[in-house]
Amino acid sequence: MSQPEMPQKSPFVVQVEPGKYAWCSCGASSKQPYCDGGHAGTEFRPVIEIVTEAKTVAWCGCKQTKSAPFCDGAHSSL
């Protein structure tokens, strides 16, 4: 897999609590937008993000962002 799968063509907008999150960069996780190890055997690795306060986050769903793990609007040109 040289290109990530695209689980959805929009961000995953989620209310998160403080903690450590592993964003799926390959698109193969069944627990989107988070990693479940579906990248095993590929060159992809999760992006670790530490959240320090409760907030709403827009995790990239198309896996084409240049601002991983967050949505940068790349899906609008797909």
**Residue 2 pLDDT class (50, 70, 90 cuts):** confident
Q: CA 61: distance to chain centroid? A: 6
The model's pLDDT over 34-61, given as tens digits with 9 standing for 90+, comes to 999 999 999 999 999 999 999 999 999 9
Provide the sign of the torsion angle of the four alpha carbons 61, 64, 70, 76, taken in this order. Answer: negative
pLDDT digits (tens, 9 = 90+) for 10-35: 999 999 999 999 999 999 999 999 99
pLDDT at 1 over 80: no
| Global pTM value | 0.94
Q: Two tokens at 33?
A: 């937008």
